[in-house]
Structure 1
């Protein structure tokens, strides 16, 4: 079979596989599930899920803040708030609505039970008395009513694990009604809104990243090759790799989430690396008068093994993300690693097939394209030979300064760490922190002591101690618990007077409360804080989002208080909840990152050891790739950027990509040494031969990753910035420091 026929056959097979990829890619959907970021496999997660089954999800809610600008005690404003309340109560997937216009104070008298509204919306003459009653009731201020009396909030309890479609429908209906009622000063927070906003942002950013990457790559390809085929051929190959990547995700029914939304962009620029190395070497051979077949054979022989190894190291960099306990990051690592090998396969099948089918490039033009690079790279090598010691000293100084910066890094996270400070969602969350109780949930599991129940007075007194501490020292602004329910009933039994919003003072008083509790045992308010057997309870609250570091300090102090002042024979407790689970990721951030880097180092060391059979060369190869990581760590420390889950993955990704240049450099050096050349001359030939491809691919990679700075997600933004910086530092280290290290410390084996 002729080479031409073989090329057509390869392209036909690729065409069929591409069609299948397009079919599976068309099934992809966008998804954002908050729960996926809990640390899988952690025993505390299993405990939290069991707790959630008993008391409900602490995240399935919407907060609607309505600001009047002036006093809320305005009939027109309150009437519109009441209309919104009634509207939300009628919506599908809404379990209940706690609203300032419907909240009531229960009163139990000799002749029966009745409830008095705190707000008499249609009777403005009673607003003064209403205001006095509301602002003497601690449980209402900071929850439904702001402390400055200029805003109110609605707490909308939604169905458990609301789907994306149901969330979108509810959010759209809510905003439409807000507009209809002219409640323009509104602020909304909650899981349903965050899910809708995150997914919409992902859709927009995927389109922006890909468009920007394509434009930038076209520009760089034109600058590098200055021919139409030099732009179009690589572009087609890399676009195919992106389509195949999305097809694999569709095949395994993996949705596009906040992590995998990066995959197409990463594949576009990383996949270009293999293509550029092949194209650069091919053009060089054509410029030297080789035929297409000769040029391709030489190219595949000289860059094939190095490209295979770089694909392997890059894949390993992403596969090390399997060390994390967070499912979206693990899946991102796996699918990106698979996609990198698909890109390798396409580069060594489609690209040669196309090059064989298209017209042979003009040798003179190919020489003109190739002629300026050797001059530049010879000067670069001349600089290395003239300044080896300054390069070494500068590198050591950079390491010392970087270590100082790394010592300043803090591991800290917030609930919405991926959104920037100016994002509307963050501003709405900030509004609830400024005006109301905050948005960070607090959950404490209460377990009655042996032979006790949550409705025993002595147990409730222990709960009351904890509540007092949480209000005064911990920073909770709102609490609901079995004790708050009992206090509410005790007040109802005493004419609704706020002076009686306390636990009963005597066993007789508690007996009266228990009788009322028995009649309310099917009400949702009671079931959400006490189990049916009365053995377990829930203390829930809201506070400002203080960050994981401060939260850990507060939790330690709380546990110390409980150990000292709470009788375990009466009450046992355990902290849990979604906020605690997200904070637990902090415990894994540094260890997961170090495990991932260690695995990547070992794989690179193994590959270099196989190539050179020299431990000294293994150490030499790692140095120019570790220094860039130290540099970005130092920059993060000096800039005060916290180490979060989304930021920690930068190091393993960056190392896996940056080490590619080192592998190409050492692979070419090995070939030169095998031809009997001296070490200095072999390094010179390596820099001249491989330097062009290293610089071009690094520029394309940097440009591609820099498109990620357009993201409104902080994690994505930092991936773009710091991976780009790592690649710049790495190419400088490979072309300046690596040759010096080899000259000083490597002794080739004599034949």
Structure 2
């Protein structure tokens, strides 16, 4: 808005007229760009994660509130202060920016085929890179290796063969079913199976207590560390139930009806993919030992809920990305009333997502909650540039008598500078997250900054090239008459006297 205000003021020197044109000409477009950004955040509300829902709602409401404040306060403030001086509008004439815009125009006019070929190559490489993406996540993924918490967790994992709880619950479906010798044998068979997995620690269950008790009864002879027979079992249970401490220890593995028992294990942090494989193997082992008619078994614990929760969150975040693309496409369809133009506007904003996903695949950055967030946020922000450019392009079409080439160049001249300045602010705004000590925040900042940078390049080079190359195939009469008017060239203040301010330069 400030760039447009300065541009208008330089043209005619009437500050109030410039403010009026800012509101009329880009007010609706600015609203829609903020709306698309808000939608990119608001789609997190479908993830069913309380933290992400709150984040999405607060962020989207803040973005819309910021638009209202900017639309109200900027005209009010600038109508009272001194008109812009030469140093305030000097940024419109920066030679480096002007040369860059001129270079973009040359590329658009003379090298469109090279732009198309480069785009196809980038997409092809991107698709290959996407196939390399890993979706595994670890409990300590985002904690720096130098952090004491990370080092402590790894110490326990390496010395105690695991840290993440894994519980196997066995329900015999009848009272005293656990105390039968056949159940003991099945439990012992399962524990022997679990010992074959290097990712697991030594199991701990009621059988361990019974074996230790039997060994203690025979003066600690290691030869008697085995399952007790029926006589030994009854004798041990008589002593085990005496005293609150003994009874409490026993009941931590056995319910009061002696119908349900559990096996407690510690698992290493092997990642969600390997944990899913282990879970399937555990389930196969358990089902092969305990028939489903006589027993009901449950495999649970934080090691299981961690990988299931990660998978659930990933599915929800992909759903939110699809919803964001759909809703933003509908908004652009309302703006332009042309399905061809909607498709054309989506292409430059999907390619940066493919590029970033490919970078993740080539560099080994896995798909997890903190990295999936990138795509919805970046898409909602990057499409803003497309809306601004196409809105200005449509305005120039009316003024130039439907001269597509001239309209593209004029749109690139005016909106290109604003797009560059906005991209710089967003790039460093998200890039500052890379200084964080938390891996998820670093990944979010770096990937969003990278995506927005590629999106800027795509909107400044590919979008104008497509408009000029495809010509009237995409720019139809429907595009000229939108359902929602962005610019209104006929409404403007022609004669307004500027208020006089005392000269304060001396």
Shared fold per TM-score greater than 0.5:
yes
Counterpart in 1 of 2:494?
Answer: none
Q: Deviations over 1:624-649 (max 9, x none)?
A: 00000000100100111111122111
Map 1:430-441; keep pairs closer than 5 Å: 430-441=154-165
| Matched residue SS, 1:416 | coil
Paired with 1:697 and 1:645, the residues of 2 have a C-alpha distance of: 27
The aligned residue for residue 495 of structure 2 is none
Superposed, 1:449-460 pairs within 5 Å as 449-460=173-184
User: Could you tell which deviates more after superposition, 697-706 or 314-323?
Assistant: 314-323
- Counterpart in the other structure of 1:508: 231
> Is the CA contact (8 Å cut-off) linking 1:449 and 1:568 kept in structure 2?
no
Q: Distance in 2 between matches of 1:524 and 1:697?
A: 65
For residue 432 of structure 2, what is the aligned residue in structure 1? 707
**Is the CA contact (8 Å cut-off) linking 2:161 and 2:199 kept in structure 1?**
no
Per the alignment, residue 412 of structure 2 pairs with 687
Matches within 5 A, 1:455-604: 455-473=179-197, 475-504=199-228, 506-520=229-243, 523-568=247-292, 571-604=295-328
Cα displacement (A) at 1:431: 1.4
For 1:369, the equivalent position in structure 2 comes to 91
Contact 1:450 / 1:569 at 8 angstroms: preserved in 2? no
Structure 1 residue 484: Cα displacement: 1.8
Q: What RMSD, in angstroms, separates the aligned Cα atoms of the two structures?
A: 2.0
Measure the CA separation in 1 of the matches of 2:92 and 2:207. 80
Of the structure 1 ranges 353-362 and 491-500, higher mean CA displacement relative to structure 2 is found in 491-500
Q: Deviations over 1:530-559 (max 9, x none)?
A: 222222222111132111111111111111
Is the contact made by 2:49 and 2:313 (CA closer than 8 Å) also made in structure 1? Answer: no
Measured in 2, the distance between the counterparts of 1:375 and 1:733 equals 18
Distance 2:49 2:144 in 1: 22
Query: CA shift at 1:356, angstroms?
Result: 1.8
**d(CA) in 2 for partners of 1:524, 1:654:** 55
1:612 counterpart (320, 332, 336): 336
Quick check: 1:442–1:540 contact (8 Å CA) kept in 2?
Answer: yes
How far 1:463 sits from its partner (Å)? 1.4
Instruction: Report whether the alignment pairs 1:733 with 2:491.
Output: no
Distance 2:382 2:223 in 1: 68
Offset at 1:451?
4.9
2:51 is the alignment partner of 1:323: no
1:439 is displaced (CA, Å) by 1.4
- The answer as to 2:173 corresponding to 1:445 is no
Counterpart of 1:349 (choices 59, 68, 72) is: 72
TM-score normalised to structure 2 length = 0.89
Q: Is the 8 A contact 1:661 1:694 kept in 2?
A: yes
Shift of 1:369: 2.9
Distance 1:442 1:520, change over 3 A: farther
Q: Secondary structure at the match of 2:138?
A: coil
Q: Measure, in 1, the Cα distance between the counterparts of 2:285 and 2:91.
A: 74
The residue number in structure 2 matching 1:723 is: 448
User: Hey, what's the Cα distance between the residues in 2 that align with 1:492 and 1:374?
Assistant: 88
Match in the other structure for 1:280: 3
User: What is the rounded CA distance, in whole Å, between the counterparts of 2:45 and 2:214 in structure 1?
Assistant: 54
The answer to whether residue 476 in structure 2 is matched with residue 748 in structure 1 is yes
SS in structure 1 of the partner of residue 477 of structure 2: coil
1:615 offset after TM fit, Å? 0.6
Q: Provide the rounded CA distance (Å) in 1 between the counterparts of 2:439 and 2:270.
A: 18
Paired residues of 1:629 and 1:726 also in contact (CA < 8 A): yes
Distance 1:512 1:571, change over 3 A: farther
Which residue in 2 is equivalent to 1:336? 59
Does the aligned pair in 2 maintain the 1:302–1:668 contact within 8 Å? no
In structure 2, how many angstroms separate the alpha carbons of the residues matched to 1:615 and 1:334? 30
Counterpart in 1 of 2:353?
A: 629
2: distance between equivalents of 1:680 and 1:480?
76
For each residue in 1:249-268, what CA deviation from the matched residue of structure 2 results, as whole angstroms up to 9, or x when unmatched?
Answer: xxxxxxxxxxxxxxxxxxxx
Alpha-carbon shift at residue 665 of structure 1 (Å): 1.2
> Cα–Cα, structure 1 residues 571 and 492, in superposed 2: closer, same or farther, change >3 Å?
farther
Q: Which residue number in structure 2 is paired with residue 646 of structure 1?
A: 370
Say which SS state the counterpart of residue 519 (structure 1) adopts. coil
Say whether the 8 Å CA contact 1:452–1:459 is kept in structure 2.
Answer: no
**Are the aligned partners of 1:448 and 1:570 in contact in 2 as well (CA < 8 Å)?**
yes
CA displacement 1:346-400 (0-9 Å, x = unmatched): 11122222212221112x4455331234554233212211100100110010000
Q: Does 705-714 or 596-605 show the bigger shift?
A: 596-605
Q: Offset of 1:623 from its aligned partner? A: 0.4
Determine the C-alpha separation between the residues in 1 that align with 2:8 and 2:421.
Answer: 18
Conserved 8 A contact 1:529-1:538: yes
Describe the shift of the 1:698–1:498 C-alpha distance in structure 2 as closer, same or farther (beyond 3 A).
Answer: same
Equivalent-residue separation in structure 1 for 2:444 and 2:279 (angstroms): 31
What CA distance in whole angstroms lies between the structure 2 residues aligned with 1:662 and 1:418? 34
The residue matched to 1:473 in structure 2 has which SS?
coil
The C-alpha deviation readout for 1:386-440, integer Å capped at 9, x for no partner, is 1001001100100000010100111111112221333321122111122222212
Match of 2:485 in 1: none
Gaps of 5+ in 1: 1-277
The higher relative CO (CA closer than 8 Å, separation ≥ 6) is in 2
CA contact (8 A) 1:286 1:366 kept: no
Offset of 1:520 from its aligned partner? 5.0
Residues 501-541 of structure 1: per-residue CA shift (max 9 Å, x gap): 3220x211111122123225664422322222222222111
8 Å CA contact 1:445–1:537 kept in 2: the answer is: yes
User: 1:401 maps to what in 2?
Assistant: 125
For 1:482 and 1:501, the matched residues in 2 are separated by: 13
SS in 2 for 1:446: strand
Say whether the 8 Å CA contact 1:452–1:570 is kept in structure 2: no
TM superposition shift of 1:570: 5.1
Tell me the SS of whatever aligns to 1:538: strand
Partner of 1:678: 403
CA distance in 1, matches of 2:76, 2:221: 86
In the alignment, is the contact (CA less than 8 A) between 2:371 and 2:440 conserved in 1?
yes
Could you say which residue in structure 2 is the equivalent of 1:305?
28
How many residues matched?
472
Tell me how far apart the structure 2 counterparts of residues 533 and 520 of structure 1 sit (CA, whole Å).
18
Query: Per-residue deviation at 1:285?
Result: 1.4
